[in-house]
Amino acid sequence: MYSPTMNCGKPTVSIVIPTFNSISYIKYCLHSVFNQTYRDFEVIVVDGGSTDGTLDFLSKYPVVRVIRGRANRSLQKNIGAYNSKGKYLYFLDSDFYIDSRVVEECVRICEEGCDAVVINLLPRIDGGFFSRVLLWHKIYTSQCEAKTAARFIRREVFFRVGGFNNLLYFNEDLDLHRRIKHSKYRIGYVDRYQYHLGEAKSMGSYMRRYLYYAPNIGYYIKHNLRESISHIASIYYILKAFKKTPSKLILHILALEAIRLATLLVGCIVRHHESP
């Protein structure tokens, strides 16, 4: 089994992975982590109370430090950061699979002067029609800067801007990115990819995901008003990107974005009226 090294004289990276019933994807995530060309890193998994065998699976990896505690995703990532030893932090979702040179390239960019790095993120498609629409939707909406977030961050910078907001579980990474940017830290971009394995496979599961996020959207908008306006104007960015790179799926992409926005709005209104 591959074992990360911590004494090769290079800046250490702490890879923080929050988990919760992640058995379906964590093995692929860890495989991509241990397949990195850059080898000076530690892996910290913060579990939110898994009951599906995730912890049993992680016990097979003695090089992975597992911290248990029932917490939401933002708090899990903060806990991982507080327990880290690296010069840099890389926050990786448990259903992500990353290119083998991601960590190496991020370290290089930060060593050249950047404080945080944005890594390309794409859904992993299964060849189905909905997956293809989702892929192009992600490609188009990524043209909106308010929808990009740095996940690789200089540790001292992370703490200076306050880390993740523990009350956010919707776009908490975008909220952190905004604070890094507004604090005038230098943000770089790497031409490498993260693939989201856990994307919705149907319109129904897609809508359920955003209904789950809906109760938190009001709090996010309150603290990220300017960026939220860009989110609402996302159809504009889709059309702008379409002019550069046309796709026959454009009508379906626009429909998907309209459904996403409507689902968040309806979910937010319904949850608001349900609250005491």
Q: Which helix (H) or strand (E) holds 204?
A: helix 203-223
Structure tokens at 189: 């971009």
- The alpha carbon torsion through 15, 62, 76, 159 (nearest 10 deg) reads -40
pLDDT (0 to 100) of residue 271: 53
What does DSSP assign to residue 9? S
Indicate if the pLDDT at residue 225 is higher than 80: yes
Cβ distance 30 to 61 under 8 Å?
A: yes
pLDDT (0 to 100) of residue 88: 98
Mean pLDDT of the chain: 90
Looking at mean pLDDT, say which of 28-32, 206-210, 223-227 comes out highest.
Answer: 28-32
Indicate if the pLDDT at residue 276 is higher than 50: no
pLDDT (0 to 100) of residue 263: 84
Handedness of CA 81, 3, 58, 30 (dihedral sign): positive
Which parts of 38-186 are beta strand (E)?
41-47, 64-68, 88-91, 96-98, 116-123, 150-154
pLDDT 10s digits, 174-202:
999 999 999 999 999 999 999 999 998 88
Indicate if the pLDDT at residue 146 is higher than 80: no
